Amino acid sequence: MELDLWWLLLFPAFFGLGWFAARVDMRTVLKQAKSVPTGYYRGLDALVEDKTDIAAQALAEVARQQTSTPELQHTLGKLYRKRGENDRAIRLHQRMLESPDLPSELRDAVRNELAQDFRKAGLVDRAEEILVQLLSGNMALAARRQLLDIYQQDRDWKKAIETARELRSDAHSFQHEVAQFYCELAQAELHRSNLAEARQLVGEAFASNRKCVRASLILGDIEFAEGNVPAAIAAWQGIEKQNFEYLAMAAERLFDAYEKLGKPLEGIALLRGYQQTFPQLELTDLLYQKIATYEGETRALEAVREAVHARPSLSGVYRLIESQMDELSPEGRMDAEVARALLFKHAQRLSVHRCKCCNFRSRAFFWHCPACGEWESFTANRSES
Ligand SMILES: [Zn+2]
Centre of ligand 1 to C-alpha 365, Å, is 12
Contact 154, 125 (CB under 8 A): no
Centre of ligand 1 to C-alpha 374, Å, is 6
Centre of ligand 1 to C-alpha 273, Å, is 32
Centre of ligand 1 to C-alpha 157, Å, is 20
Cβ < 5 A residues, ion ligand 1: 355, 357-358, 360, 369, 371-372
Centre of ligand 1 to C-alpha 321, Å, is 35
Which residues face 314 on adjacent strands?
A: none
Q: Is 16 exposed, middle or buried (0-12, 13-18, 19+ CB in 10 A)?
A: exposed
Residue 93: partners with Cβ closer than 8 Å, 6 or more residues away = 77, 110, 111, 113, 114, 117
Q: Alpha-carbon distance 30 to 325, whole Å?
A: 83
- Report the residue count for the chain: 385
Centre of ligand 1 to C-alpha 166, Å, is 24
Centre of ligand 1 to C-alpha 73, Å, is 33
Q: Alpha-carbon distance 191 to 204, whole Å?
A: 18
DSSP letter for each residue of 45-103:
HHHHTT-HHHHHHHHHHHHHH-TT-HHHHHHHHHHHHHTT-HHHHHHHHHHHHH-TTS-
Which residues face 361 on adjacent strands?
A: 354
Centre of ligand 1 to C-alpha 6, Å, is 77
* Confidence (pLDDT) at 347: 85
Helices 175-191 and 157-167 cross at an angle (nearest 10°) of 170
Centre of ligand 1 to C-alpha 366, Å, is 10
Q: What is the pTM of this model?
A: 0.79
Helix/strand/coil for 353: strand
* Confidence (pLDDT) at 67: 62
Helix/strand/coil for 352: strand
Neighbours of 203 (CB within 10 A): 14
Tens of pLDDT along the chain (385 residues) come to 455 666 666 666 666 656 656 555 656 555 555 566 777 677 777 777 777 777 777 777 777 766 667 777 878 888 889 888 999 999 999 988 998 888 888 899 999 999 999 999 999 999 999 999 999 988 999 999 999 999 999 999 999 999 999 999 999 999 999 999 999 999 999 999 999 999 999 999 999 999 999 999 999 999 999 999 999 999 999 999 999 999 999 999 999 999 999 999 999 999 999 999 998 898 988 999 999 999 998 899 899 898 888 888 888 888 888 888 888 899 989 999 999 999 889 888 888 999 999 999 999 999 999 999 999 999 999 876 5
Neighbours of 342 (CB within 10 A): 12
Contact 310, 279 (CB under 8 A): yes
Task: Give the CA angle between residues 62, 68, 72 to the nearest 5°.
Answer: 50
Contact 259, 294 (CB under 8 A): no
